[in-house]
Amino acid sequence: MLYVVATPIGNGEDITGRALRVMREVDLIACEDTRRTGRLLAAHSINTPMMSYFEHNETSRIPELVKRLRSGEHIALVTDAGTPAISDPGYRLVRSAIEAGINVTSVPGPSAVIAALAIAGLPTDRFAFEGFLPAKSGERARVLAQLAQEERTLVFYEAARRLPRLLQELVAAFGPDRQLAVVREATKIHEEVLRGTLVELASKLVNRELLGEVTLVIQGTRRKDNGGPGSLADEAELVGLLREAGLSLRDASAAAARITGTSRRKFYQTALRQERR
């Protein structure tokens, strides 16, 4: 049996009784970081052997783990925090185990996606989880452009240090007035939840240094917004909002043009005249 075991995302008290029992009873725990999982096991006096399993060694580890499962061993798969296989290489082991005829079961528990959705204050009946966006700016812009018309609530992961840049890119792609919740350090002592429009939070965080990882929950586009997501009649006002989010005049004009489908040159000249007054 392969057990997919969720572990705390911050607060250590969020471990379930079943998760602790399974990790005691299995023959092996496959974990992202043996040091981090080792601290969790030590806190609960669990002495089960561990094996590292992460993105850069999964190709060599999967055949070994599947071989042990087929020989009759029980293995628990855990990640550093939260539910394995969610935006995590664990799904490849799960798939390989299934293909080998191994029974796979879930030991559910904490998930940063669900934790953030539950406290965001945005619609949760339908949502789309996008994980981490592409690292390259061009590919990231292409993905965001595709998601601009998505009506479901959107959920992203991001490193806190890159959040100011991402917020500027979201303003450019989605418009300034989508509602957003930024959940940082979820369930930890210094948990922080910031709520507002994209442009409000982009302006607030443009010069702030942030640590850790964050989960962003963003309002989907509304069908009734015929002018496009976040469109404003006042050209100078739209460019001004984008400028407040930290964009240069040229970039703000280009973003406003993408948002509304209007000429970039027109936005730039209007904003330039406004700034010269």
- Give the lowest-confidence range in 119-128, 191-200, 218-227: 218-227
In terms of C-beta distances under 8 Å and separation of at least 24 residues, what long-range contacts does 176-180 make, across chains too? Answer: 176/230, 176/232, 176/238, 176/241, 176/242, 176/245, 177/230, 178/218, 178/219, 178/221, 178/229, 178/230, 179/122, 179/218, 179/219, 180/216, 180/217, 180/218, 180/219
Please state the three-class secondary structure of the chain as a single string.
CEEEECECCCCHHHCCHHHHHHHHHCCEEEECCHHHHHHHHHHCCCCCCEEECCCCCHHHHHHHHHHHHHCCCCEEEECCCECCCCCCCHHHHHHHHHHCCCCEEEECCCCHHHHHHHHHCCCCCCEEEEEECCCCHHHHHHHHHHHCCCCCEEEEEEEHHHHHHHHHHHHHHHCCCCEEEEEECCCCCCCEEEEEEHHHHHHHHCCCCCCCEEEEEECCCCCCCCCCCCCCCCHHHHHHHHHHCCCCHHHHHHHHHHHHCCCHHHHHHHHHHHHHC
Of the pLDDT bands very low, low, confident and very high (cuts 50, 70, 90), residue 229 is very low
Say if residue 227's pLDDT is above 60: no
Q: Which two tokens stand for residue 176?
A: 């300034």
- Confidence at 230, pLDDT banded by 50, 70, 90: very low
Residue 266 has pLDDT above 90, yes or no: no
Q: Does domain 113-230 have CATH number 3.40.50.10190?
A: no
136-163: pLDDT as tens digits: 988 999 999 999 999 999 999 999 999 9
pLDDT score at 242: 73
Mean pLDDT of the chain: 89
**What whole-number percentage of the chain has pLDDT above 90?**
73
Token digits of residue 172: 């450019």
What is the pLDDT, as a whole number, of residue 233?
Answer: 41
Dihedral of CA 207/213/217/220: which sign?
Answer: positive
Confidence of residue 253 (pLDDT cuts 50, 70, 90): confident
Query: If one looks up domain 2-110 in CATH, what number appears?
Result: 3.40.1010.10
* Interval 18-53: pLDDT, tens: 999 999 999 999 999 999 999 999 999 999 999 999
Are the CB atoms for 66 and 97 separated by under 8 Å? yes
Q: Look at residue 118 in the predicted model and tell me its pLDDT.
A: 97
Per the model's pLDDT, the better-predicted residue between 229 and 60 turns out to be 60
| 86 in Cβ contact with 130 (< 8 Å) | no
pLDDT at 224 exceeding the cut of 60: no
Decide: 253 and 239 in contact? Cβ < 8 Å: yes
Predicted confidence (pLDDT) per residue in 75-102, tens digit: 999 999 999 999 888 999 999 999 999 9
Phi, psi at 106, each rounded to 5°: -100, 140
Give the mean pLDDT of 239-257.
73
Q: What pLDDT shows up at residue 234?
A: 56
Residue with tokens 């240069």: 248
- The answer to whether residue 268 scores a pLDDT higher than 80 is no
